[in-house]
Amino acid sequence: MLGRITAGDRSAFEAFYRRYATWLLLRLRYRCADGAVVDDVVQETFLAVWRGTARYREQDTGDVPGWLWRIGSRRLVDSLRGHGARQRLAGLLARRRFADAPSAEEQVLLGVEHGDLAGALARLSPELRAVVQATVLDGLSTAEAAVLLGIPAGTVKTRAMRARRQLRQELA
């Protein structure tokens, strides 16, 4: 389908948009409570796909939803940086607002049956778990996770190291 989109097939793009737009919108709203910012980011993400500025290479990136999520999440971080990210992120993270509702990733991890990974992740402190989610599950860089979480990059690295050490101990 992506090959047809890059060739300019409008119907293929419309089908792609219908399939993934709502999914991307909901995931980004989990990260940012400002609906206008999220709407803009979703449109920018699909515009990049349509224009071909975001190129999908199967051998490099794996599945299409993951590729689309990486584009959208990075555009969200860039968008928030442009609006005074540190101040706005603290109030805009929807995760804080929906702390009692498990994310899609948490629901999947609850069903993990190989070892006690879900339990080990659940036993991490919320600060460590947030870093693991941003860097491992969402695939953000240390700098991007720092902006998203509103903490210094060095703190992200330290928390990631502590989380890995704790997970290694619990899963050994």
**At a CB cut-off of 8 Å and minimum separation 6, what does 107 contact?**
none
**Claim: this prediction has a pTM higher than 0.85:** no
Out of 101, 131, 157, a domain closes at 101
Q: How many domains does the chain have?
A: 2
Q: What is the pLDDT of residue 155?
A: 93
- Judged on CB neighbours under 10 Å (0-12, 13-18, 19+), 148 is buried
DSSP track, 115-168: TTHHHHHHHS-HHHHHHHIIIIIS---HHHHHHHHTS-HHHHHHHHHHHHHHHH
Tell me: do 94 and 110 sit in the same domain.
no
**Cα–Cα distance between 85 and 143 in angstroms, integer?**
12
The parent domain of residue 117 ranges over: 102-172
Q: What is the pLDDT of residue 92?
A: 47
Least confident range from 16-25, 89-98, 155-164: namely 89-98
Banded model confidence at residue 86, pLDDT cuts 50, 70, 90: very low
**Cα–Cα distance between 171 and 121 in angstroms, integer?**
10
| Residue carrying the six token digits 């909901």 | 26
Tell me: do 37 and 90 sit in the same domain.
yes
pLDDT tens-place string over residues 28-65: 888 887 888 889 999 999 888 887 766 665 544 457 78
